């Protein structure tokens, strides 16, 4: 007795948690139903010429007309309504198989619109376009042109939603008739509104040009003729950028870009635009040029058996070929094969090893 009770409880728990129970009311049940109907129509198309040899004999015509309305054809169509992986679809078809048979044999001449007959009127998971919710009420703005064609009605065509509008870009308000900031009404009456983008210089506007701004966007300023024009942020005596950056003006804004590595400060791109040279560089012919520390009269590398390697903005001291660094001195390398290989690879001077101090 105890055992039976547990089994009953478990079964009940499974049933209660099964998605089957909620399939009729899920968010996706209307789209699923529409897919089923679409695939039904495709199935009708696909089977339209089947079992028909292409000839024209009386026998074939009779066979065709018999197949046209046959259960065989219906089963063929029903088998291809859903992807095998779609639980909701397969469940919906299984659950309403009798309805499909009913429509196929008795209703399809009177109610040729399967979507309306099945999804809307019969299993009640969808509504006609432009309507929403359990009772298929008209969307905001009316079912003909929901949201005045400037937005989406919540729940449109389903048994869900609240019918309110989510306006397209550029539109606002409950009815999507008003223009959003940055847009203006090109055309407007009680039921129609066309909003067009303002000139890029306007925050709000009444027309398409920079003379039609009600208010300039930030980065733009109104001149004497009431037009909004770009502010050249870089024209100021003091740059809005950091010491090692230069200012680049843009329409409606500006940006700061890094100076060349040769400069500590600059007025533009490249070593020619430096106003101060980085260490390791010196001014030469109007631009900051790398100092070759290896050709200075005072030697930069002082140890015995070492070479000076110049690099951009710096230099490096490396032991000469056949010598290696040991305890701060360049010692002759022992001639083993392994060491020969090591020497080969140490010849490459990578910029990572470059001296930072000079
Ligand atoms: Ca600017």
- Where do runs of H (alpha helix) occur along the chain? 2-17, 29-46, 58-68, 71-79, 87-95, 97-102, 114, 337-346
Sign of CA dihedral 80, 82, 85, 91: negative
Mean pLDDT (the chain) is 86
Band (pLDDT 50/70/90 cuts) for residue 69 is confident
**Separation of CA 220 and ligand 1 centre (Å):** 7
Query: pLDDT digit string (tens) for 291-329?
Result: 999 998 888 898 899 999 999 999 999 999 999 988 889
Question: Residue 356: what pLDDT?
Answer: 44
At 7, is the pLDDT very low, low, confident or very high (cuts 50, 70, 90)?
very low
Element (H, E) at 315: strand 314-319
Judge whether residue 120 has pLDDT over 60: yes
Polymer length of the chain: 358
Ligand 1 midpoint to CA 270 (Å): 22
In angstroms, what is the span from residue 248 Cα to ligand 1's centroid? 8
Alpha-carbon separation of residue 183 from 25, 87, 172, 200, 203 (angstroms)? 40, 45, 10, 10, 9
The residue with greater pLDDT, 273 or 15, is 273
Provide the pLDDT for residue 37.
97
Instruction: Report residue 280 as tokens.
Output: 């390791």
Q: How far is the CA of 192 from the centre of ligand 1 (A)?
A: 37
Q: Would you say residue 257 has pLDDT above 80?
A: yes
Measuring CA to CA, which residue among 211, 215, 194 is closest to residue 203?
215
Q: Is the pLDDT of residue 349 over 80?
A: no
Q: What's the confidence (pLDDT) of residue 237?
A: 85
For the segment 48-77, the average pLDDT, to the nearest whole number, is: 74
What is d(CA 304, CA 317) in angstroms, rounded to the nearest whole number?
A: 11
What separation in Å is there between the alpha carbon of 210 and the centre of ligand 1?
15
Compute the average pLDDT of residues 108-121.
96
181-202 residue pLDDT tens:
999 999 999 899 999 999 999 9
Residue 345 has pLDDT above 70, yes or no: no
pLDDT of 23: 43
Average pLDDT of the segment spanning 9-33: 60
Kindly give the distance from the C-alpha atom of residue 232 to the centroid of ligand 1, in angstroms, as a whole number. Answer: 4
Dist. CA 249 → ligand 1 center (Å): 5
pLDDT in the model for residue 350: 46
Residue 17 φ/ψ region, left for φ over 0, alpha for ψ in the -120 to 50 degree band, beta for the rest: alpha
CA 266/CA 233 separation, integer angstroms: 16
Rounded to the nearest 5°, which phi and psi values hold at 257? -120, 150
Asked which of 18-27, 113-122, 222-231, 264-273 is least confident by mean pLDDT, the reply is 18-27
pTM recorded for the entire structure: 0.62
pLDDT at 263 over 90: yes
CA distance 115 to 123: 10
Domain boundaries, the chain: 23-124, 249-287, 291-353
266 closest CA partner among 275, 254, 257: 275
Gap between the Cα atoms of 305 and 105, Å rounded: 103
Work out the percent of the chain whose per-residue pLDDT is above 70: 82
Check: CB of residue 211 under 8 Å from CB of residue 226.
Answer: yes
CB environment 64-97: b (16+ within 10 A), e (fewer): eeebeebeebbeebbeebbeeebebbbbbbeebe
Distance 254 CA to ligand 1 centre (A): 5
Which string of DSSP letters, residue by residue, matches 231-296? --TTSSSS-SS-TTEEEEEETTEEEEEEPPTTEEEESSSSGGGEEEEPTTEEEETTEEEE--GGGS
């Amino acid at each position: 007795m105890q055992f039976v009770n547990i089994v009953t409880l478990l079964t009940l728990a499974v049933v209660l948690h099964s998605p089957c129970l909620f399939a009729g009311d899920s968010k996706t049940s209307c789209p699923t139903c529409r897919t089923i109907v679409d695939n039904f129509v495709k199935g009708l198309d696909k089977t339209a010429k089947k079992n028909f040899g292409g000839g024209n004999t009386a026998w074939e015509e009779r066979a065709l007309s018999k197949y046209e309305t046959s259960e065989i054809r219906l089963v063929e169509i029903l088998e291809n309504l859903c992807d095998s992986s779609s639980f909701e679809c397969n469940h919906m078809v299984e659950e309403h198989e009798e309805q499909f048979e009913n429509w196929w044999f008795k209703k399809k001449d009177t109610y040729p619109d399967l979507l309306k007959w099945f999804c809307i009127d019969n299993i009640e998971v969808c509504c006609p376009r432009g309507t929403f919710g359990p009772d298929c009420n008209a969307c905001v703005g009316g079912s003909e042109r929901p949201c005045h064609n400037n937005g989406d009605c919540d729940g449109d065509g389903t048994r869900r939603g609240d019918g309110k509008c989510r306006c397209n870009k550029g539109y606002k308000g409950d009815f999507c008739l008003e223009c959003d900031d940055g847009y203006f009404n090109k055309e407007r009456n009680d039921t129609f509104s066309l909003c067009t983008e303002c000139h890029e210089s306007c925050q709000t506007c009444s027309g398409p040009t920079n003379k039609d701004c009600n208010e300039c966007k930030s980065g733009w300023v109104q001149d004497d003729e009431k037009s909004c024009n770009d502010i050249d942020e870089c024209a100021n005596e003091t740059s809005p950028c950091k010491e090692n950056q230069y200012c680049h003006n843009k329409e409606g804004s500006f940006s700061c870009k890094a100076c060349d590595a040769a400069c500590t400060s600059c007025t533009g791109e490249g070593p020619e635009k430096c106003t101060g040279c980085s260490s390791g560089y010196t001014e030469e012919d109007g631009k900051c040029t790398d100092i070759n520390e290896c050709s200075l009269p005072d030697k930069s590398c002082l140890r015995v058996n070492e070479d000076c390697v110049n690099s951009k903005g710096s230099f490096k001291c490396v032991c000469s070929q056949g010598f290696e660094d040991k305890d701060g001195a360049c010692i002759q390398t022992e001639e083993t094969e392994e060491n020969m290989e090591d020497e080969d690879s140490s010849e490459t001077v990578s910029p990572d090893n470059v001296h930072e101090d000079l």
